[in-house]
Amino acid sequence: MAKTDTSRSRKATKAAATRSDKDTWAAAYKLIDAPKGAINIAYEAVDRHVQHGHGDDTAIIWLGKDGSRQDLTYGDLAQATARFSNVLLAHGLEPGDAVFSLMGRVPDLYFAALGTLKAGLVFTPLFSAFGPEPIRTRMEIGSARVLITTAQLYKRKIAAWRSELPSLKLVLIVGDTAPEGCVALGPAMANASPEFVTAKTEPDSPALVHFTSGTTGKPKGVVHVHNAVLYHAFSGREALDLTPGTIYWCTADPGWVTGTSYGIIAPLVNRVCMIVDEAEFDLDRWYRTVEQEKVEVWYSAPTAIRMMMRSDAKAASAYDFSSLRFLASVGEPLNPEAVLWSEQVFGQPFHDNWWQTETGGIMIANRPGMTVKPGSMGKAMPGIEAAIVERDGDGLRALADGKVGELALRPGWPSMMRAYLHEQARYDRCFEDGWYLSGDLAMRDTDGYFWFVGRADDLIKTSGHLVGPFEVESALIEHQAVAEAGVIGLPDETAGEIVKAYVTLNPGYTPSEELERDIRGHARKTLGPAVAPREVIFRNTLPKTRSGKIMRRLLKARELGLPEGDISTLETDET
């Protein structure tokens, strides 16, 4: 992109993008079967493979918390999802109706997600750990018609207010029995036909509503359409190296977008064999799973990677990781330290990539074969035009490489959001001058690699410097005692803001004044005195969203005694 004449650069880049978009999406269409004018995610992910003679290929290896295991083929999935679609229609539900799920990562969740899409209804998965209030708010916003959950979760979290949600017509309960007023899914599925003619959904038919993580404020309900499957097919292959038969493990829960886009759709569309683990993070279990299942491609998140890093490196040396061929990470900035650690332990780096609930798919990535620059999110995906921009009086100005500004994308890729539910004005504010504005600050280097700086709201202005929390956090976790760090700016009369850090420690270290001084000293050496934190506070945990993102706004609100705002996605934390 030209660096100074922005009016000319806008025209030039648009023309280039149009040409490459066309080629890219034409290539993506070749990956799927969709006839013109009709497309359905579930058909492309499941039934297409059966039609093409791959019904016996393994689609899912499910690992139960209790050590049980279930292998499901594409043929099994086609039948189970058809049964689920038939259950929905038997209860008078219609295309467009909203189906919510609230349960752990059990096979029924995957049948429900794909069965809903196959029948042309709209799916929203929720984290099973949400409390009653966040569940209720989301189901109200999404006008839920159906909920699929377990008897236990229903009793604990739904029963008390169910009658106050008149849109809710049907509650399906996993298993053979159901509380009064609900329907047991087991017998309903058993009695339903395993045949179903996929609904004739169109490219713009709504398919999924995902709620954002709530890192910066109240979660938004983001609407995605069936055409998104094109981008999932394409990006699964391009960014994650998913090909038929690949043994793939995405550790994300479908309660956030990664667990659906790349934990259900992209892998199945690419006919991989995917691992679904019902259990939560456990170091030995994870390492054992990689070894025993011979995982080839692993997609995880910085919070999990940092948990692995906390353990003794010896723990890893007991396992054979030779099956791994590609590792990727998303959700938060991946500290350079984590990339280097992964090279040591797994013999290859975690490849960071960047995207959002709104973009529906990976936009910026360290793709297979690319040189990884530790700390960088990688380059824009083929067909995706990304720029660093600044708002000025009369619109947006593209910034030169090396300058920090807002990360913007040229809309037009198939998995882009189509709406924020009931928040049209907010949706409209995301677009300006033909760009989608991400709300994240970043910098692009002259090789085209993007470097994350922070959320627009998290930038710290101290003594004339602009400081992104990520660079300070990354410097802190280089210190051998520090496991995780969250950095914020606090108002200060002389400096404007001062940098303050919260850290958790690695096993074997205990908080002390001396350690605090040592950590600050290390940060001063790495970052310089102006940017290094003035104060380092020790914590047992940092406040995080359920998708594993550090909630800096909460650290700041607590520090300043301000209201905490929406904390519906907060994991339990101690202060």
CB of 215 vs Mg ion, minimal distance in Å: 6
| Secondary structure element (H or E) that encloses residue 386, with its range | strand 386-392
Binding partner selected for residue 452 from Mg ion, ligand ATP, none, CB under the kind-specific 5 to 8 Å limit = ligand ATP
Contact between 266 and 233 under an 8 Å Cβ cutoff? The reply is yes
Q: Which of 76, 103, 75, 100 is nearest to 88 (CA)?
A: 100
Q: Which of 363, 366, 332 is nearest to 349 (CA)?
A: 366
**Which residue's CB is nearer to Mg ion, number 86 or number 212?**
212
- DSSP E strands in 185-272: the ranges are 206-211, 221-225, 247-250
Any contact of residue 256 with ligand ATP (CB under 6 A)? yes
Q: How far is the C-alpha of 190 from the C-alpha of 80, rounded, in Å?
A: 9
- Which one of 47, 253, 440, 473 is in contact with ligand ATP (CB under 6 A)? 440
Tokens 């660096």 — which residue? 3
Any contact of residue 543 with ligand ATP (CB under 6 A)? no
Any contact of residue 458 with ligand ATP (CB under 6 A)? no
Tell me which amino acid residue 453 is: V
How many residues form the binding site for ligand ATP (CB under 6 A)? 24
Any contact of residue 289 with ligand ATP (CB under 6 A)? no
User: Which positions from 544 to 573 touch ligand ATP by CB under 6 A, shown as an x/- string?
Assistant: ---x-x------------------------
* Residue 324 CB partners (closer than 8 Å, separation 6+): 290, 295, 296, 297, 298, 346, 347, 348
CB of 150 vs Mg ion, minimal distance in Å: 30
**β-pair partners for 404:** 443
* Residue 345 CB partners (closer than 8 Å, separation 6+): 308, 313, 316, 321
**Which residue's CB is nearer to ligand ATP, number 212 or number 415?**
212
**Which residue's CB is nearer to ligand ATP, number 397 or number 455?**
455
- Which one of 265, 377, 387, 488 is in contact with ligand ATP (CB under 6 A)? 377
Binding partner selected for residue 543 from Mg ion, ligand ATP, none, CB under the kind-specific 5 to 8 Å limit = none
Q: Where are the alpha helices (DSSP H) in 30-142?
A: 41-42, 48-51, 74-90, 107-118, 132-141
Burial class (CB within 10 angstroms; exposed 0-12, middle 13-18, buried 19+) of 561: exposed
**Which residue's CB is nearer to ligand ATP, number 271 or number 552?**
552
Any contact of residue 473 with ligand ATP (CB under 6 A)? no
Q: What values do phi and psi take at 258, rounded to 5? A: -60, -40
- Which one of 73, 149, 198, 213 is in contact with ligand ATP (CB under 6 A)? 213
CB of 439 vs ligand ATP, minimal distance in Å: 6
Contact range with ligand ATP by CB under 6 A, out of 150-158, 214-222, 396-404, 511-519: 214-222
Report the Cα 211 to chain-centroid distance in Å. 11
- Which one of 354, 450, 451, 502 is in contact with ligand ATP (CB under 6 A)? 354
* Residue 45 CB partners (closer than 8 Å, separation 6+): 114, 229, 264, 265, 268, 269
- Which one of 350, 452, 502, 538 is in contact with ligand ATP (CB under 6 A)? 452
CB of 106 vs ligand ATP, minimal distance in Å: 23
CB of 364 vs ligand ATP, minimal distance in Å: 8
**Which residue's CB is nearer to ligand ATP, number 40 or number 212?**
212
Contact between 548 and 302 under an 8 Å Cβ cutoff? The reply is yes
Any contact of residue 468 with ligand ATP (CB under 6 A)? no
Binding partner selected for residue 354 from Mg ion, ligand ATP, none, CB under the kind-specific 5 to 8 Å limit = ligand ATP
**Which residue's CB is nearer to Mg ion, number 455 or number 522?**
455
Any contact of residue 130 with ligand ATP (CB under 6 A)? no
**Which residue's CB is nearer to ligand ATP, number 265 or number 330?**
330
In this structure, what token pair is assigned to residue 456?
């627009």
- Which one of 330, 487, 499, 542 is in contact with ligand ATP (CB under 6 A)? 330
- Which one of 86, 235, 357, 474 is in contact with ligand ATP (CB under 6 A)? 357
Residues near Mg ion (CB under 5 A) are: 212
* Vertex 53: Cα angle to 51 and 54 (nearest 5): 105
Binding partner selected for residue 154 from ligand ATP, Mg ion, none, CB under the kind-specific 5 to 8 Å limit = none
Q: What CA–CA distances, in Å, run from 306 to 312, 329, 341, 484?
A: 12, 11, 10, 7
Contact between 450 and 354 under an 8 Å Cβ cutoff? The reply is yes
* DSSP at 550: B
- Which one of 227, 356, 415, 462 is in contact with ligand ATP (CB under 6 A)? 356
**Which residue's CB is nearer to ligand ATP, number 24 or number 303?**
303
Helix/strand/coil (H/E/C) assignment for every residue in 301-338: CHHHHHHHHHCCHHHHHCCCCCCCCEEEECCCCCCHHH
* Binding stretches for ligand ATP (CB under 6 A): 212-217, 219, 256, 330-333, 352-354, 356-357, 377, 438, 440, 452, 455, 547, 549
